[in-house]
Amino acid sequence: MRSGGMVLIVALWILLALAGTVLVFGRSMRVELLVSANGLASLKAEWIARGALQLVVSQVDSMDGDSILPGGDLTWEAVPLGEGYFWVISRGNEEGSGPVFGITDESAGINLNSATPEMIYMLPGMTDELAASIIDWRSSSEESTPGGAKSEYYLLLSPPYQCKSGPLETVEEVLLIKGASMDILFGEDGNRNGILDPNENDGSETAPPDNMDGILDRGIYDFVTVYSNHANVSGQNEDMVNVNGSDQAGLRELMGGIVDSARLSTIMNLARRGRPFQSVLDFYARTGLSMDEFERIAPNLTVGSRGRTLGLVNVNTAPREVLLCLPGLDEADVDTLMDYRASMDLTGRTNISWVAGALPLDKLSEAGGWMTARSYQFSADIVAVSGDGKAFRRYRAVIDGRSSPPLVISFQDITGLGWPLDSGIISNLKKGIAPGSALIN
């Protein structure tokens, strides 16, 4: 009997151990299943983001010069793709109350690699010190400007590093420059979504610090770029006429069927004596063309090598804060420009001549050299989520459309900034509720 009891006790202990092993194994398998499911969701979100990128690239590639922004006739909010959805958040929201969806024009910002110190200083929240230091950072000169800094300053930091003395490659590179801060660059918009989130309007309770005024301070990030670069059409398009060229036969021929013969000689003389012109708007301002005449010939004019290719600002897409940085423009000029722009249809705005109807002649000559009505570089803030809401990815892509197919020059993972849209979207997806989606038109 004693032997049988011992066997029973041992058997019970073995059963207990086996049961525990089964429970531990089951829990382990459950964890593995969850990990696998999350991994699969993560892969789905990743490839949805890359699919969205290809759609953006295709829209940039389809630009024909008649569109203000690529993909303007498509929906970029809650677009279903595969087993999930994507959004493309635009920086086009001038009020900062967002969200706004679509592709962003990089030429809508001030290019930190080409803008004058005065233009950089006019950016919201900019300081004298940072403006001067940006100039020194990008300049190959060994001499620093007053208030700026070269390597002797940066080598005393911990850790030390050299002044780049070359162009900025990303806007975030500003944070390496003397006088820069997260507040100046990003303002209160810590997650860069253009929306005043609760944590961006609660004082110092949660990061980032803010003033609780109910208005989103976006810093300079939404108003600057390092990517805007235009193709020099002079010499690439046989239909273009260089108003600064020594051979004026092409210009005379172009205007011959448009300008009254009684005025043609006068305009040609003014064109000859007025060279060099800094822009086609400068040409208009100093040659006495009528608005109707200029509108008809402007698409065929170029100033050749005299024209800037780096850092031109697209007057069709630039926000007020950027237009105020252009040389010679005051608040009244910018208000008039924006009102005039709003009154026009999109097709008419692809011809730079519309600006001549909004600004005085002297302003056209001064600011016109920084203006364009076309763009070649675009960015897309892509947010992709799996259909079950278990994973999301966020990327900022920059696409250069000067070639076909367009070149993706940057695809930056910014998932670490967090989910940038309404948190209810994720919650609903986990419950099996789809977002208010719209199919691509």
Q: Are 296 and 258 in contact (CB under 8 A)?
A: yes
Q: Are 93 and 192 in contact (CB under 8 A)?
A: no
Give the CA angle between residues 90, 375, 396 to the nearest 5°.
35
**Residue scoring higher pLDDT (107 or 24):** 107
Strand ranges for 22-132 from DSSP E: 79-80, 84-89, 104-105, 110-111
In eight-state DSSP terms, residue 221 is: G
Q: What pLDDT does residue 236 have? A: 44
Q: Is the pLDDT of residue 319 over 70?
A: yes
**If you average pLDDT over every residue of the chain, what do you get?**
88
Q: Is the pLDDT of residue 74 over 80?
A: yes
How many other CB atoms are there within 10 angstroms of residue 241's CB atom?
22
Q: What pLDDT does residue 325 have? A: 98
Q: Is the pLDDT of residue 78 over 70?
A: yes
Position 26 confidence tier, pLDDT thresholds 50, 70, 90 = low
Position 235 confidence tier, pLDDT thresholds 50, 70, 90 = very low
Strands 377-386 and 104-105 turn out to be antiparallel
Q: What pLDDT does residue 16 have? A: 76
Average pLDDT over residues 290-308: 88
Handedness of CA 307, 234, 107, 322 (dihedral sign): positive
Q: What pLDDT does residue 440 have? A: 39
- Give the model confidence (pLDDT) of 366-416 as tens digits: 999 999 998 999 999 999 999 999 999 999 999 999 888 999 999 999 999
Enumerate domains of the chain plus CATH numbers.
Answer: 1-115+224-230+308-441 (no CATH), 116-223 (1.10.40)
Going from the C-alpha of 83 to that of each of 50, 226, 422, 433, the distances in angstroms are 13, 35, 20, 13
- Give the model confidence (pLDDT) of 188-233 as tens digits: 998 998 888 888 888 888 888 888 888 888 899 999 999 999 875 5
Task: Report the alpha-carbon distance of residue 90 to residue 300 in Å, rounded.
Answer: 32
Q: What pLDDT does residue 97 have? A: 58
Q: What pLDDT does residue 203 have? A: 83
Going from the C-alpha of 311 to that of each of 124, 143, 297, the distances in angstroms are 18, 24, 24
Average pLDDT over residues 31-43: 74
Q: Are 336 and 67 in contact (CB under 8 A)?
A: no
Share of the chain above pLDDT 90, in %: 65
DSSP labels, 304-342: GGGS--BS-EETTT--HHHHTTSTT--HHHHHHHHHHHH
- Give the model confidence (pLDDT) of 239-267 as tens digits: 689 999 887 888 999 988 888 888 999 99
Task: Report the alpha-carbon distance of residue 365 to residue 112 in Å, rounded.
Answer: 22
Share of the chain above pLDDT 70, in %: 89
Task: Report the alpha-carbon distance of residue 283 to residue 278 in Å, rounded.
Answer: 8
How many other CB atoms are there within 10 angstroms of residue 413's CB atom?
12
Q: What pLDDT does residue 64 have? A: 60
Exposure of 99 by Cβ count < 10 A (0-12 exposed, 13-18 middle, 19+ buried)? middle
Average pLDDT over residues 146-158: 96
- Give the model confidence (pLDDT) of 83-130 as tens digits: 999 999 998 665 555 688 999 999 999 999 999 999 999 999 999 999
Q: Are 100 and 90 in contact (CB under 8 A)?
A: yes
Q: Are 312 and 281 in contact (CB under 8 A)?
A: no
Q: What pLDDT does residue 14 have? A: 78
Q: Are 236 and 304 in contact (CB under 8 A)?
A: no
Q: Is the pLDDT of residue 339 over 80?
A: yes
Bond prior to 208 in cis (omega within 30° of 0): yes
